[in-house]
Structure 1
């Protein structure tokens, strides 16, 4: 089976609880790529719900994450992704040769208030803008 050159790039964001960082990253990438990138997020030990401070912080920038739920990390999700970005899950993410792996060191928003979550959100936004530019070089992130 040969790879389809027209296939959308796919990115998986992984953190332990899939309740804050990975959810914000997935929401930003979904929004900024306008559907041109397949986006997944998961956690090695998913929380019961998405962090309310993360939901509120994203709402402040016009992105609604209120319907999102933490998802369990599966080997299938890793296999199906071109880029796997981990955020503090250590060695719990399965490794497959040929995948691009990145580890983004970001403060964990768990248990923190909105004032502590905003800078984390903004750092994720900056990294996602760079990722979109890299994965979709013909597109402009700020193009309307």
Structure 2
């Protein structure tokens, strides 16, 4: 994220949050990654079925980032 989009999530204070700390949400997108995600009340949800790049080389992370960007742009068009 830092190299590709110049976003330093740690420097911007981003951190993991408890589900109880989240405001109500309209939709939930899960990434897939072959893990079970907690249930969050929402009007709609979808799973993007992405592979988990944990422990993989940087090029695998970059490919997953590319896939996320593509899916975000598709979602943006659908929500218009």
Q: Does 1:72 align with 2:17?
A: yes
User: Which residue of structure 2 lines up, in the alignment, with residue 114 of structure 1?
Assistant: 58
User: How far off its partner does 1:83 sit?
Assistant: 0.9
Q: What is the count of residue pairs matched by the alignment?
A: 76
Following TM superposition, where does structure 1 have runs of at least 4 consecutive aligned residues deviating by more than 3 angstroms? Answer: none
Structure 1-normalised TM-score? 0.44
Greater RCO structure (CA 8 Å; 6+ sep): 1
User: How far off its partner does 1:65 sit?
Assistant: 2.9
User: Which residue of structure 2 lines up, in the alignment, with residue 61 of structure 1?
Assistant: 4
Q: Please, which moves more after superposition, 115-124 or 60-69?
A: 60-69
Q: Distance in 2 between matches of 1:103 and 1:134?
A: 15
User: How far off its partner does 1:86 sit?
Assistant: 1.2
Name the SS of the counterpart of 1:129 in structure 2.
helix
User: Which residue of structure 2 lines up, in the alignment, with residue 15 of structure 1?
Assistant: none
User: How far off its partner does 1:120 sit?
Assistant: 0.6
5+ residue gaps, structure 1, are 1-57, 138-144
